[in-house]
Structure 1
Amino acid sequence: MWLLVLVTLSGTMAMHIFVPALPVAGSALHAPAASMQQTITLYVIGLALGQLVYGPVSDTWGRRPALLVGLGLYLSASVVALCAPTLEWLLAARLVQALGGAAGITLGRAIVRDIAPPERVTKDLALLNLLTLVGPGLAPIVGSYLAEHFGWRAIYLFLVGMGVAMVLCTWRMLPETNRQRRPLAIAGIARDYRTLLCTPRFAGFMLGGACSTTALYPYLATAPYIVHEQLGYPIAMVGWFAAATIVGASLGTLVTRRLAGRYPAERFLYVGGGIGLSMAFALLVVQLAGWLNGPILVAVTLVMTLGAGMSSPAALSRGLSAVPWLTGSAAGLYGFGQMAMGALGTKLVGYGDNPVVACAVTQICIIGLALASYRFAAAQPVAVQGGQPAR
């Protein structure tokens, strides 16, 4: 599990770790701010697209070879980014780095689904899903420390070190876990994804889980404007306000891991979603009433992400179990949905003049959609290969 945690963290952490260093790197590479922002955009695109590939490929090649290829890409691209002489080299390296990092997110989940007994699937997936939640919150803190004390290239030196450790440990320690190989065909991949999307149970849990996991993205996107411009805190404090998402998501995931064997997963879906929705409404109310301050913002964010930490792993567990013979493809498509919903949520908060109102309204819509999706998916049967659906 610690190895799967490491490979999952690498993919999500590299997404936002470079954000604090954008101005410094832009000056060093003589690139404008808008061009430097593409290093983040391309990473999100690569992370989303890469997850569509590794799932079906691992269903054919096996989890271990596919993961080693992805980690090799991640390490090689990190080296290129470390030595990048121009913005063009850095952009290309970031895209390839994301395509490699997607392997850890997708295949970590697939491996857990391969080997964990039914009573432990939700618990183990909860730990991996936590990294999808806390990676974006932890990364700016690490990135700002490295950039401030050692320069922007130190960030990529750090990622190179992670890449070396992951490749060596995976090569030496990880066994093959996929015992049901399938022939690889492009038409077959498209058919698998069509099967998943046309399976109501999987589609519902994928949409709900994507919404729950990325409900914190609107807050991360607006935090600099809320914390610095509205509340008047120094810009250096933004990372610590973002850290509240780590605490909340960790507590929520801990609750799910401890209680997963005692209660059905659907309970965590509805309780976690209800907590998140109530906190989104609370954020809107305190802003409109003029009561918003730093402690209230931290408290609301912490409780909201606690709800996300509770519901997200249960949704992931149910989603990967909806079509059991397509676990790899399901993991890839599920991850793609998470990144796509995260990008959509980040885009939506750009509309409106008040960042707090935009953040709260976006979160209300996203979490409300998650709860509706869970209710729909829970009422659908589990697919059975070559036979009739069964509950």
Structure 2
Amino acid sequence: MSDLSSKDSSLDNLLRRDPRAEWIARNRLHPLHNEMLQIGGVEVRGPSGLLRKNPHVIGFIGPNGIKRIDRTNTSSASLGDKKRSSATKETQLPLHIVENPDFYIMVVADMVGGRLTGHDKDILGLAHQLVAKRNGAVTLVCFGDNKETQCDLAGVDRLVHLQGEIYEGFAPEARLNALLQIEAQYKPDYWLFPDSVHGGMDLACRLSARLGERLAAQAWQVNAEHTVCRGASASQDILRDTPRILTLLEECGDAIDESRHQVLPMAIDGIEQTTPAMVDKGLIAVDSNAVPLAEAEFILSAGNGIHNWDQFHAAAAALGATEGASRVAVDDGFMPRARQVGASGTWVTARVYLAVGISGAIQHMQGIGQCDKVVAINTDAGCDMVKRADLAVIADSEDVLAELIQLAQHYSLSKGQEEKSDAA
């Protein structure tokens, strides 16, 4: 009797494999895959019978939505807890608080279209590197319309928003007077400007001349002691001491992505404004197709999915977009070779690239790599262009373009009526 009981206990200690469960755990496309991983835990038994760690289970979702490897095993105990997993994904970024700053770093952003550009965000990231764990506040200075809704995620501790018609358009004199008032009131440690054609370089030069301080232009590596600038058409690097005023190239720093910031408004005392010597009369209307494709900010590009070319040209005219095309559309004779976008055509850097009926060949994707926002209109939800796009519309291109033309015409009509009422 005792021999039988010992035999039964030894049988109970045997580890029995479930081939079906192991197959589901290895097959990520199986509908029960995630459920099986939660049951199996961190360790799974491989086909050879050895216990192996499952790399798809180890880790956790960080505060910015990126999966992190949990090397301390602090979260492995809760891997099977769905509520804990969902709560981790919804965790807000930690709030960075600067209560009484000892100094300020002023970032005068381009704010093209009223929003922070990638260039602006890089400079904000660099400003936090210059703070270097000291009690300083990174301050964003912007003029005119501010449509940015994520200044807190971009690293803005303080905000100086100067509004009014006097700052609209090309108004360097009014903006310079405002910066001089900020200089007199807050005495910032650094003035950071984007080295760009959108006004940052011009305004930095004016401020430098007025304060009598030499600026560092085309800076791309900056710390509190030394600055490396591009020179001789970007063929040489120039090392110099870091000044107070700098114009910075893109990718000069890493954008903020792991913290939220307060974005507290800062008050500026009365700014003395004089009658400007130059008055901005507004932009002159030009033919959008007269703008070189490499310099265009808004491109409407056509591919093999376009069949109504008259409608495509009408949509480009109504939207005020520069026309582009894929290689297929050019080879078929629908668009001239100068309109081809891609590695074998023109590399574009548009703020908005609207691709209509373009599947997304690798050469075309290379040509639009520097575009800020990509919008795709296509009937194929799985094409590469849809995967690359920031916004995708899965529908027939003719229906979407017809609606866009109608909306553009309605907007132009309403805007014309507002201008007439204002003049009256």
TM-score using structure 2 length = 0.27
Structure with bigger RCO (C-alpha 8 Å, 6+ apart): 1
TM-score using structure 1 length = 0.28
Q: Which has the higher helix share?
A: 1
Decide which structure has the larger Cα Rg and report it: 2
